[in-house]
Structure 1
Amino acid sequence: MSKINLAFPEGKIKVLTMSYDDGVYADRKLVEIFNRHGIKGTFHLNSGLMGEPGRIAAEEAADLYKGHEISAHTVTHPTIARCPKETIVREIMDDREGLESIAGYPVRGMSYPNGSYSPEIKAMLPHLGIEYARVVKSTGQFGLPDDLFEWQPTCHHKQDLMALGEQFVGFHKQQYLYLMYVWGHSYEFDNDGNWELIESFCRLAGGRSDIWYATNMEIVDYLNAFRQLKFAASTRFVWNPGASSVWLSVDGEIVEVPGGSRQSLQD
């Protein structure tokens, strides 16, 4: 029997994703830095607060975040674990609706406002069209998420960002997959006077041929595409019922399984 493992697109073993909250003016500079280094970000926005002092207006958001992901953060940023379920439903659904009118695509992810969530809220999210939700507690690690509704990042950008980045870019063992997930608020770079920190990190981690640069949702969609693959009992072939390609490592060789195809995995 062949040894078959998931790989990231084009056979890569590392993925980098960035996650920033609140949609403030400093996102303009952060997006420019990301774009310059080929890095993708997910920006979690409060549709009800857009255009308020210091915040990106709805009219600007579509162009500013083009090529990145617009994601939910509730309409008004309440501490939702203290809210009745009726409020939570409206905060999430109205935020999705408002952001979708800007983005032009279904908004299917979120980060918890004020880091507030509960088991009951997590259980509600699939029924509200949400497929992942990021928390604020960091792991300092590079594993794939165990729970997409309690997605723990690797680090806040204030937490050993460069040391963790050096570690991440140095990974090379093909038997593992590595995910570096950085989160924060762009206004913190203004407050702390340390834009050079994120500039340095993006110079280090950006533009590398062995890293997949993805939004939060792109990672979720790819993992789901892998889970939907239909393998023969013998694992000699696989059927991909989805529309997008999935890459596998088969006895150390990279095999692309295009969407809608049956792919042999053994000669």
Structure 2
Amino acid sequence: MARILLCYPEGKFKALTMSYDDGRRADERLVSIFNKNGIKGTFHINAGLLGTNDRLTAEEAVELYKGHEVSAHTLTHPTIARCPKEMLVHEIMEDRKQLEQLVGYTVRGMSYPNGSYSREIISMLPHLGIEYARVVPTHGGFGLPEDFLEWKGTCHHNRDLMKNAETFAGLFKKQYLYLMYVWGHSYEFDNDNNWELIEGFCGYIGGRDDIWYATNIEIVDYIKAYGQLKFSAGCDLVYNPNAASVWLSVDEQIVEVKGGSQVRLG
């Protein structure tokens, strides 16, 4: 039987994703840095607060986040673990509706406002169309989450960012899939006067051939697509019922299983 392992697109085994909250005006500088270095970000937005205080307007957000992902952060940023369930449903669904009208695609992820969530909230999210949700605690590692609805990142950008980047860049054991996940708020770079931190990080880790630069939802969709593959009992055939390709390592040879196709593996 062939030795079959999941790969990221094009046979890569490392992925990087960035996650930033609140839709603040400092995102303009952050997105510029990402774009310069070929890095993708997910931006968690409160639709009900757009254009208030230091936040981008709806029109500015639509233009700025092209090529990245707009994700939910609830309508008005309440501490949702303290809210009635009816309010929670309204906050998430109305945020999704308004954001979807702006960006023109389904919004299927979120980050928890104020880091607030509970097991009951997690159980409700699939019924509200939410497929992943990022939490505040981090794990300092480079693995995929056990539960995408309680998605812990590698680090906040103020916690050992360059140390983690150097470790991540040096990973070479292809029997594993690695993910570096960084989160924060762009206005923190203004508050801490340390824009050179994210500029140095992106310049160092961007543009590498062995890293897949992806949004949060792209990672979720890809892992779910792999889970839908149909292998024969002998693992010598695989059928991909998805629209998108999935890549496999088959006895250390990279195989693309295109959407709608059946491929012989051995």
**TM-score normalised per structure 2:** 1.00
Alignment of 1:58-137 (within 5 A): 58-137=58-137
Q: Deviations over 1:122-153 (max 9, x none)?
A: 00000000000000100000000100100000
- What is the SS of the residue equivalent to 1:33? helix
Counterpart CA distance in 1 for 2:151 and 2:264 is 34
- What is the SS of the residue equivalent to 1:137? strand
- What is the SS of the residue equivalent to 1:90? helix
Root-mean-square deviation (CA), in Å? 0.4
1:60, CA displacement in angstroms? 1.0
Counterpart CA distance in 2 for 1:5 and 1:147 is 20
Q: Deviations over 1:24-55 (max 9, x none)?
A: 00000000000000000000000000000210
- What is the SS of the residue equivalent to 2:62? helix
Counterpart CA distance in 1 for 2:189 and 2:6 is 36
* Runs of at least 5 residues in structure 1 that lack an aligned partner in the other structure: none
Q: Deviations over 1:207-251 (max 9, x none)?
A: 001000000000000000000000000000100001000000111
The aligned residue for residue 238 of structure 2 is 238
Aligned partner letter, 1:224: K
The aligned residue for residue 248 of structure 2 is 248
Counterpart CA distance in 1 for 2:168 and 2:57 is 35
* Runs of at least 5 residues in structure 2 that lack an aligned partner in the other structure: none
Counterpart CA distance in 1 for 2:137 and 2:103 is 28
Aligned partner letter, 1:30: L
The aligned residue for residue 10 of structure 1 is 10
The aligned residue for residue 208 of structure 2 is 208
**TM-score normalised per structure 1:** 0.99
How many residue pairs get aligned? The number is 266
The aligned residue for residue 260 of structure 1 is 260
Counterpart CA distance in 2 for 1:162 and 1:169 is 10
The runs of at least 4 aligned residues of structure 1 exceeding 6 Å deviation read: none
Identity, % of aligned positions: 68
- What is the SS of the residue equivalent to 2:53? coil
Aligned partner letter, 1:161: L
Counterpart CA distance in 2 for 1:53 and 1:120 is 32
Counterpart CA distance in 2 for 1:129 and 1:46 is 17
